[in-house]
């Protein structure tokens, strides 16, 4: 995108100073992200994002969620000895006080303050990093535990296993790509866990497991670490909604504890690293112990199995459907993903 257009978009937001330079930042899979510098030397840098309207169909609702959550966090941060500008995202409004800008092409944009002097990780390189990542999301959940307002459901059906099984049954019945017979063993594996997964889902549906504010994308790259090793800020709040915090724990454990790649073709590489698991849970509970209910504590370890199972099911379902959802790099990519995630899940069942 040309610099002039990006500068014009940046100028729609209440920045300190006038935008002088807009550069791409990172290689996001969903949003297009840029860093903005202004002519005001004492001003912070800013993050400018074009939100993916194909993934998020109601971006005004998403931005309302983000605004309300970050405002609540800013109100709580002093209780924890934190810094409002470094430990919580600061969303920048437009000149008409909206938290998004809609351009002439129908694209939605949002801006926030850039938090510098931080470190990001693609994987947990030590038990200490895993511990601090757990502590970071635990602190986020703790600070949001007294937030009682309903949030917009920006991704309907997200982590809804009952809905996933309805889609699964249709996929197996239709056999669109003629692959069902070739994956009979994997189908049997899915079916052997159906009752267990739906029983857990029922606890969420009937309120036995409470709904809270959930981040919903707790891979380790969504945490900014300080140079002392602690989490400075939880970022990428696009998917923040009401749900069970167990999904955040499970999603983090699926990615952090895997000794191999999500799509590792060599299954010998794949297992759950129990030391990283223990470190993450320890860090999480150092913050979350005080607000979790007994039933939530009981299902902490199961959360990792639940989310990993969901990925096995979704990768295999997409393979059966003819690879219509996930991007693939070669014809059996989704099947390779299925095998790798199944191996990880089997390792979890052996260890936790």
Query: 36 phi and psi, to 5 degrees?
Result: -115, 130
Residue 26, pLDDT score? 76
The pTM of this model reads: 0.93
CB 168 within 8 A of CB 190: yes
Which tokens is 280 given? Answer: 């993450």
Count of H-run helices and E-run strands, the chain: 11, 10
pLDDT tens digits for the chain (352 residues)? Answer: 699 999 999 999 999 999 999 999 976 667 899 999 999 988 999 999 999 998 899 999 999 999 999 999 999 998 888 999 999 999 999 999 999 999 999 999 999 999 999 999 989 999 999 999 999 999 999 999 999 999 999 999 999 999 999 999 999 999 999 999 999 999 999 999 999 999 999 999 999 999 999 999 999 999 999 999 999 999 999 999 999 999 999 999 999 999 999 999 999 999 999 999 999 999 999 999 999 999 999 999 999 999 999 999 999 999 999 999 888 999 999 999 999 999 999 999 999 9
Domain ranges of the chain: 3-113, 127-351
Query: 106 phi and psi, to 5 degrees?
Result: 85, 15
Q: Which of 4, 317, 25, 19 is nearest to 177 (CA)?
A: 317
- Looking at domain 3-113, its CATH class is alpha beta
Beta strands in 235-301 (DSSP E): 241-243
CATH architecture of 127-351: Alpha-Beta Complex (3.90)
Q: What DSSP element (H or E) covers 129? A: helix 127-144
Q: Which of 242, 252, 211, 207 is nearest to 65 (CA)?
A: 242
CB 284 within 8 A of CB 339: no
What are the C-alpha distances in Å from 174 to residues 115, 170, 171, 184, 200? 49, 6, 5, 15, 27
- Three-state SS for 124? coil
């Amino acid at each position: 995108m040309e610099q002039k257009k990006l500068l014009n978009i940046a100028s729609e937001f209440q920045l300190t100073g006038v935008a002088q330079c807009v550069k791409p930042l990172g290689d996001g899979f969903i949003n297009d992200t840029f860093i903005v510098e202004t002519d005001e030397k004492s001003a912070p840098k800013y993050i400018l994002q074009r939100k993916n309207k194909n993934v998020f169909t109601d971006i005004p609702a998403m931005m309302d969620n983000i605004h309300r959550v970050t405002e609540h966090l800013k109100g709580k941060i002093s209780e924890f000895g934190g810094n409002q500008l470094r430990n919580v995202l600061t969303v920048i409004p437009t000149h008409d006080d909206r938290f998004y800008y809609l351009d002439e092409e129908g694209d939605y944009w949002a801006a926030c303050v850039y938090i510098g002097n931080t470190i990001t990780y693609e994987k947990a390189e030590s038990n200490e990093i895993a511990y601090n990542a757990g502590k970071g999301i635990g602190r986020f959940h703790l600070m949001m535990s007294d937030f009682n307002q309903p949030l917009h459901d920006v991704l309907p059906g997200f982590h809804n296993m009952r809905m996933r099984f309805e889609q699964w049954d249709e996929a197996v019945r239709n056999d669109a790509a003629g692959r069902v017979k070739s994956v009979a063993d994997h189908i049997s594996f899915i079916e052997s866990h159906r009752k267990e997964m739906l029983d857990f889902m029922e606890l969420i549906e009937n309120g036995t497991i409470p709904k809270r504010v959930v981040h919903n994308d707790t891979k380790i790259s969504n945490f900014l670490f300080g140079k002392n090793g602690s989490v400075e800020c939880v970022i990428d709040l696009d998917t923040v909604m009401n749900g069970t915090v167990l999904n955040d724990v499970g999603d983090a454990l699926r990615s952090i504890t895997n000794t191999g790649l999500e799509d590792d073709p060599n299954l010998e590489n794949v297992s759950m690293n129990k030391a990283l698991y223990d470190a993450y849970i320890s860090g999480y509970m150092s913050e979350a112990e005080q607000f979790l209910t007994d039933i939530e504590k009981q299902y902490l370890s199961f959360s990792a199995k639940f989310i990993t199972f969901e990925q096995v099911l979704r990768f295999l379902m997409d393979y059966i459907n003819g690879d219509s959802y996930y991007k693939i790099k070669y014809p059996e990519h989704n099947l390779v993903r299925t095998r790798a995630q199944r191996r990880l899940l089997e390792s979890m069942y052996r260890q936790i």
